[in-house]
Structure 1
């Protein structure tokens, strides 16, 4: 099978969860570039020798320059139930971000009102509610410093467009490589150092609790931060604690 821009993290008859490489679109846009959905449909068709159209739908999205976990539903029942879990905020999400500036608090909470300009594909954070804005919340923790950059663990409570990127930038800590939200220079591969690291949720059909983890990108700058990973996927307290 040809090399794919993802690795499979979890797979059964209902779900496909993959670790997406940075730079790959989850769903189509104006560029017309091949998407993660396209690649994953081709993977399913080839692996299971499925003729005709493959049912596979992403349940959520992460931004193109971001790496990490993306959940696909393989049946309409799983899709419907997973959408409900996300809507009810019963999917626990953990991200790792690398920033240049030291976050002021070791452990903090950010609340903003975000408004997206669809024409420019840019989200703006406001301290108070403005017309057309939506409330966004996240918790964060500084995990440590390495090579003049800080590793921050982020746990979003809401799922707004560009939420983590714009909220960290709003506190003066844009993510490494994220020119759109104020970082000074791009990464060589056009990625940003934001990784969807863990997902925890109850399987929509089997009703088992899943603890899913996406390995950090195989890239030198990321790999040096492996030393900070103190909690592995089997840690049953992950839903309540930070990794540090």
Structure 2
């Protein structure tokens, strides 16, 4: 992953911002929060952006509402005040925020539209989740809905609505039905993408603004990539 592909305060793609919330379009390779790698997380990049834009003295508050996997792209929401963070957390916990993803997969799914229900168990040693048809110890129920949007020459574009938010949920559930995501070596695709991304993108989000009480509908532009570009062609 080259530095140019990662977000910094000068190339941050802000999709929405007000006094309470900032929504950005995450690049592949960005980590949302700090981890053991020690790489600068997106949350710190956003703080730097806010500090510079508004000439703020001292520390900038920023609350992390949800995460995306490092190789995934798309919408990430942050809270700009400690007051709004618990309200946003409540929206997500009570499933009042609708998140829709796009994924490019290797094979045509068995059905063009379906609901997938599995029990997922995470293995922390290899940071991977495994699907089970029935509940086992320490597993969590995972539900998603998908539909086929488009057939490309070599890939299939799926739209996914999550009903639950489990570790690597979309990646492992799609792999289980024989549809690994392009570039996702961990879950069965045969080769990686050159920039270490996977073709999974948090495309849309809609919710009622927790302060303004107005509906918000945000779309994240697709990464600059020939295969993604083909998804937008008629």
Alignment equivalent of 1:35, drawn from 38, 41, 45: 41
Shift of 1:226: 1.2
Shift of 1:76: 1.0
Report the equivalent of 1:141: 147
SS at match of 1:77: coil
Report the equivalent of 2:10: 3
Whole-angstrom distance in 2 between the partners of 1:152 and 1:61: 21
SS at match of 1:27: coil
Whole-angstrom distance in 2 between the partners of 1:45 and 1:83: 24
Report the equivalent of 1:152: 158
Report the equivalent of 1:20: 26
Alignment equivalent of 2:202, drawn from 196, 213, 218: 196
Whole-angstrom distance in 2 between the partners of 1:142 and 1:129: 28
Shift of 1:54: 0.4
Deviating above 4 A after TM superposition, structure 1's stretches of 4 or more consecutive aligned residues are none
Q: TM-score under structure 2 normalisation?
A: 0.95
Whole-angstrom distance in 2 between the partners of 1:222 and 1:34: 27
Alignment equivalent of 1:84, drawn from 58, 73, 90: 90
Whole-angstrom distance in 2 between the partners of 1:3 and 1:121: 32
Cα offsets for 1:61-102 (capped at 9, x unmatched): 010000000000001111010000100011101000000100
Structure 1 unpaired stretches of 5+: 229-244
Q: TM-score under structure 1 normalisation?
A: 0.91
How many residues in Structure 1 have an aligned counterpart in Structure 2?
A: 227
RMSD, matched Cα: 1.1
Shift of 1:2: 5.6
* 1:125 corresponds to 2:131: yes
SS at match of 1:76: coil
Structure 2 unpaired stretches of 5+: 1-7
SS at match of 2:48: helix
Query: Contact 2:9–2:49 at 8 Å: present in 1 too?
Result: no
Report the equivalent of 1:74: 80
Shift of 1:3: 3.3
Alignment equivalent of 1:217, drawn from 198, 201, 223: 223
Report the equivalent of 2:233: 227
Shift of 1:227: 2.4
SS at match of 1:37: helix
Report the equivalent of 1:205: 211
